[in-house]
Chain A
Amino acid sequence: MQAFLEYTLGGIAVGMIYAAIALSLVLIWRGTRVLNYSQGGMAMFTTYVAWLVIRDTGNYWAGFAVALASGLVLGAVLERAVVRPTEGKSPLNSVIVTIGLLIFLEGLAGIIYGGQYRSFPAAFSVTGLKVGSVALGVSRSDVFTAAAVLAAALALAAVFRYTSVGLRLRATAFSPGVARLLGVRIGRVLTLGWALAGLFGALAGVLVTPSTFLYPNSMDSIFVLGFTAAVIGGLDSPAGAVAGGVLLGVVLSYAGGYLGSNLVLVYGLAVLVLVLMIRPSGLFSAATARRV
């Protein structure tokens, strides 16, 4: 029972990181039907930027803010420079180009920062919290992680719902052609979508790296699990992405806890294949997606 509680809470905390990656994928997929395979590479790169800032200034929050800002900029720049030219071509082109971006960013990080593992600080203490004598299996840092992703997701939902920018984002996702006819500057909206995706990726990067170390491939496994979470959520539903992330986090936490943690990625792959075989459109139907 004790272990069950720890696995559940720990799974939710990790799941929120998958949710952040999943959200970043969904933001791009909705607008352009492009799956951004470079998302993990982008998050790794912005985390290196944060690492530099923290090392030089000694201030965690400065690094945190710079990571988010550089995520925004990186997303926008990559969309304009590399992804835009694939528009209107076969989907294979965008898959190959974003894979190219991923390996380019990983190579570039290796050239600039070297391949060694670096430790990355956490914002808060990583020692486990207790209620009375009962260990909860989560730390202050985990609580911050979950809260930060949740806050960002809620902010995103508010932007979607209550602002005119959000309306344009939704209109573009719903029907780019009609949105264009109604005067939405589709190009700008798509760039904004990539920028927001870069922000969520960067957030996931700084939040997860304290527990994984920082190296050029450090986000690979987080990315594929985030992808799985997005698929569980149906790929075009932000709410589904968050739910999918938490669900995957909890399931993998049980699997890792009860069966051994070395094969977590294999369990993740099993979950992905199962979901795709049983319900390829995701567990959360697209109807809810339209409302968000």
Chain B
Amino acid sequence: MTLARHTAAALGIALVLAALSVRLSPYRDYQMAEVAAYVVAVAGLTVLIGLSGQISIGNGAFMAIGAYASALLLLHLGWPLELVFAASAVIAALAGAIFGVAAARLRGPYLAGATLMLAVALPSVAGQYQGIFGGDQGLAVTIITPAFLGASFPPTRWLAWLTCAAALITLVLLANLSRSRVGRSWRAIRDDEIAASLAGLNVARLQILAFVVSAACAGLGGALLAVVTGIVAPGAYTLTLSIALLTAAVLGGLGTLPGAVWGSLVLVLVPSYLTNVAAGHGLSGGASSSVPIAAYGVILIVVMLVFPTGIQGGLRRLFGPMTPDAGILRGAPRRRAAASEHQKEGSV
């Protein structure tokens, strides 16, 4: 039932996006593809943090794993794209599982620290094995627009279609997961771990599962981003990327999938705007490119301290009563109560 509803909504959105992509300029199509790639990664992260109550500051590293996996598969094996994307997600999920098993015994700050270290350490691997990963220059990723679309079809529009399709499929799957038994179990664990384990939930296994899901999403997001930007290089997968993903999830509203979309839109559109404004006010190139980085910090702090439900929470408060989706309406007050309880649950 929910699957049918979510799929219908996704098909509707897909039609709107397809119509939009035809009207937009190639550059805007490119940005649309970028947003879609980030949506996949941010959605995985927001599910991990908002639903299962764990935090990862290393999902940029899983994006790197997915991106390199897709580049290598395309380069050496020449697999079809959809297979490459699936494989990239699976490889990142495997990496996430290995790391998640180690991390499952860890409470919040330990897991955050371990994933932080992963984000800092992983780029050095690309430098060590230059023969495989291409060193600092990275690997080029080229895809061909399929012939049936015609020779004059803009490649950026094909990229936008490809990534938006992947993003919508991911969102439908995540929306179902979060409404399923697994999603409910995650919320139970988030709100009271001891009670959840007394109720018979296998806390460790469910937490690893959440971590693996978020790693798979990050891997797919990384593979999509690799195809969109046409290059995979270690410089793009630094700690800053991981924190940018966190910023998008927090700003959009932790645990909400629409929030992942708002956050990703901000992530793609705002940094270049801020950099231009700063450069317009006489800051040097290096300095103005740091403005968005400082802005991430301000966003993280201000949102967490002042309005922890993020953009989606604000939208719900503004438009809540008028939202046509009755399911959200009924669920909203209950979920908000659970969320605030979660906030209160003390610092032990």
Question: Which residues of A are at the interface with B, using a C-beta cutoff of 8 A?
Answer: 29, 32-35, 37, 82, 85-97, 99-112, 114-116, 216-217, 220-221, 224, 227-228, 231, 260, 262-266, 268-269, 272-273, 276-277, 280
Contact = CB atoms under 8 A, between A and B. Distances in A.
A97 B300 contact: yes
Nearest to A176: B347
Contacts of A97: 300-301, 304-305
B318 interface: no
Interface stretch (B21-29, B89-97, B105-113): B105-113
Contact of A100 (B118, B127, B287, B296): B296
Contacts of B236: none
B160 interface: no
A101 B305 CA distance: 12
Main secondary structure of the interface of A (DSSP, over half): helix
B344 interface: yes
A33 B347 contact: yes
Interface in B285-336: 286-301, 304-305, 308
A25 B344 CA distance: 24
Given A96-B250, A266-B125, A107 B296 contact: yes
Majority SS of interface residues in chain B?
A: helix
A37 B116 contact: yes
A175 B141 CA distance: 56
Interface in B36-58: 49, 53, 55, 57
Contact of B49 (A92, A94, A116, A231): A92
Given A95-B112, A99-B57, A276-B110, A262 B347 contact: no
B114 A111 contact: no
Q: Which 10 A-B pairs have the closest CB atoms?
A: A104-B297, A110-B290, A107-B294, A100-B300, A107-B293, A265-B121, A35-B109, A100-B301, A224-B117, A115-B286
Interface of B: 49, 53, 55, 57, 99, 102-103, 105-110, 112-114, 116-118, 120-122, 124-125, 127-128, 238-240, 243, 246-247, 250, 278, 283-284, 286-301, 304-305, 308, 342-348
A264 B118 CA distance: 12
A169 to B, nearest CB: 18
16 contacts: A35-B109, A89-B344, A93-B308, A95-B108, A96-B304, A97-B300, A106-B293, A107-B297, A108-B294, A110-B293, A115-B290, A221-B121, A265-B120, A266-B124, A277-B105, A280-B110
A244 to B, nearest CB: 13
A105 B297 contact: yes
Nearest to A228: B117
A193 to B, nearest CB: 15
Contact of A96 (B103, B290, B300): B300
A48 to B, nearest CB: 13
B48 to A, nearest CB: 11
Nearest to A274: B102
Contact of B108 (A92, A105, A216, A227): A92
A103 B240 contact: yes
Nearest to B294: A107
B204 to A, nearest CB: 12
Given A114-B284, A217-B238, A224-B113, A269 B305 contact: no
A90 to B, nearest CB: 5
Contact of A272 (B114, B125, B283, B305): B114
